[in-house]
């Protein structure tokens, strides 16, 4: 069994090495042949679409199995309540850090951006099209029960999965056949996902070639100060704030956790979308020892409400644009914008071009004269989106561990063994084939999801 596991792991190892090569090749093609690079954009788009295609089924199966197996509905409510409270606090901290670093560095001071004027209105219109709070809540309710799995909305899939999960739970023993059927569907979904991931090198090559072909290397150099400051701020947040928090609460090293999630980070860098790694995060956190119910509630909810990287981006970009246009924000305006962004960032996941659209919406509501400055950062937004996605992903991984610890729904011993590489993750199936077997079989420990 051990040899078979090692063979599987080696196969996927070569896959992710191929992703690195594809990224480097994409940079060269986009730089040396920009037209060709731009023409390769559909390769990256199709790969991300394939991943997104699997998100709703993964969420549905995970939550239904998790809640349906729990006899006390209060457990789910407790996890959800803690998650929302934690997300609100951490988003506020992330926004505050963005404001602090933006004020200390003033990266936009002295820039002339007259040539970029007039490009912000479209992004504000996109944000306006997303609707207000009532429209956002209304969008969570799907047209039909089945459409929640086809509409592409994470929150709709989450909503219906919660309804089905609680309904199956209320059925008691009569609902056990349904749970067995959903468990089989989950195995099928993860198997399909594992097949799709073998296309990652092609998707990465197309996505990177397109970005470099469109922006060129000069755009990166021109706005290097903002990019470096943003990346450093994200690193400070992940390894400073989140790292200290997860060490104090869960007794887990942030460095070991990042090593465990290294392949997901690589996938996010290749696609600039944390959604591409959502199904794998669910599978890996369950493998680590966090109960299925906790993972099923925290991870999908966090992908819509716990956007730490986006929060940092919104405040730093706002200060950058104001400074670049020679109209810096005073302290009162910054705090007003902070309050707005706390709310706006929660709905950012539901907007196409979420970062730019939400940024434009915030500027339009507070300082409309700064709206045209959004065009300044369009060229490098794609590069900054990678740091946003990585930070958002890290924040949700840490949140799952923290809330699992607070609700006592995590196996601390299993967490240590997994992070110490004693229990390798099965890259082929991404799900335990025998959840009902005893914990010991043939002398080898078998993972038993809670």
CB hemisphere CA count around 59 (13 angstroms): 32
Measured distance CA(188)–CA(326) in Å, rounded: 56
Q: How confident is the model at residue 373 (pLDDT cuts 50, 70, 90)?
A: low
Is the pLDDT score of 354 beyond 50?
A: yes
Helix H or strand E segment including 226: helix 224-235
Are 285 and 397 a contacting pair, CB within 8 Å? yes
Residue-wise pLDDT tens digits, 237-281: 999 999 999 999 999 999 999 999 998 898 888 776 777 788 889
- In the structure, what pLDDT confidence band is assigned to residue 207 with cuts at 50, 70 and 90? confident
- The pLDDT confidence band at residue 5, using thresholds 50, 70 and 90, is very low
pLDDT, the chain, mean: 75
**pLDDT tier, 109 (very low <50, low <70, confident <90, very high otherwise):** low
The predicted pLDDT at position 351 comes to: 42
Q: Are strands 440-441 and 444-445 parallel, antiparallel or unpaired?
A: antiparallel
Strand, coil or helix: 445: strand
Mean pLDDT, residues 183-202? 84
Residue-level pLDDT at 436: 38
The residue ranges of DSSP E strands in 100-215, in sequence order, are none
Residue 15 CB contacts under 8 Å (≥ 6 apart), including other chains: 197, 198, 200, 201
For 2-424, give the CATH class.
mainly alpha
Q: Per-residue pLDDT averaged across 176-201, rounded?
A: 85
pTM: 0.67
304-329: pLDDT as tens digits: 778 888 888 888 888 887 777 777 77
Q: Is the pLDDT of residue 218 over 70?
A: no
């Amino acid at each position: 069994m051990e040899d078979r596991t090692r063979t599987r792991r080696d196969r996927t190892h070569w896959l992710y090495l191929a992703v690195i090569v594809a990224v480097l090749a994409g940079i060269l093609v986009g730089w040396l042949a920009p037209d060709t690079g731009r023409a390769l954009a559909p390769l990256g788009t199709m790969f991300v679409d394939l991943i997104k295609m699997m998100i709703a089924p993964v969420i549905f199966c995970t939550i239904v199995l998790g809640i349906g197996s729990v006899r006390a509905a209060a457990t789910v409510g407790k996890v959800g309540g803690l998650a929302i409270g934690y997300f609100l606090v951490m988003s506020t901290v992330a926004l505050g850090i963005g404001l602090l670093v933006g004020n200390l560095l003033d990266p936009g001071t002295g820039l002339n951006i007259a040539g970029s004027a007039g490009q912000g209105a479209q992004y504000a219109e996109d944000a306006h099209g997303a609707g207000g709070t009532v429209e956002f809540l209304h969008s969570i309710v799907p047209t039909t029960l089945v459409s929640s799995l086809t509409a592409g909305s994470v929150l709709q899939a989450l909503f219906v999965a919660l309804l089905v999960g609680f309904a199956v739970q209320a059925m008691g023993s009569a609902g056990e056949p349904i749970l067995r059927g959903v468990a089989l569907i989950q195995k099928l979904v993860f198997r399909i996902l594992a097949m799709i991931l073998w296309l990652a090198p092609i998707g990465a090559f197309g996505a990177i070639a397109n970005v470099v072909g469109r922006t060129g290397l000069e755009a990166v150099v021109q706005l290097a100060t903002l990019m470096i400051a943003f990346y450093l701020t994200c690193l400070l947040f992940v390894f400073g704030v989140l790292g200290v928090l997860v060490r104090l609460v869960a007794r887990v090293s942030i460095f070991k956790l990042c090593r465990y999630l290294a392949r997901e980070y690589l996938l996010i860098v290749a696609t600039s979308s944390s959604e591409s790694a959502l199904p794998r995060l669910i599978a890996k956190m369950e493998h680590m020892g966090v109960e299925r119910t906790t993972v099923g509630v925290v991870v999908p909810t966090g992908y819509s409400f716990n956007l730490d990287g986006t929060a940092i981006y919104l405040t730093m970009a706002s200060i950058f644009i104001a400074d670049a246009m020679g109209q810096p924000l005073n302290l009162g305006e910054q705090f007003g914008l902070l309050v707005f962004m706390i709310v706006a960032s929660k709905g950012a996941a539901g907007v196409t071009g979420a970062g730019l659209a939400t940024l434009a919406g915030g500027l339009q509501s507070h300082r409309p004269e700064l709206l045209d400055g959004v065009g300044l950062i369009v060229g490098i937004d794609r590069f900054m989106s990678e740091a946003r996605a990585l930070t958002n992903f890290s924040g949700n991984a840490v949140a799952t561990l923290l809330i699992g610890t607070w609700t006592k729904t995590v196996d601390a011993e299993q967490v240590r063994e997994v992070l110490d590489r004693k229990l390798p993750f099965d890259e082929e199936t991404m799900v335990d084939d025998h959840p009902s077997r005893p914990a010991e079989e043939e002398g080898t420990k078998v993972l038993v999801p809670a």
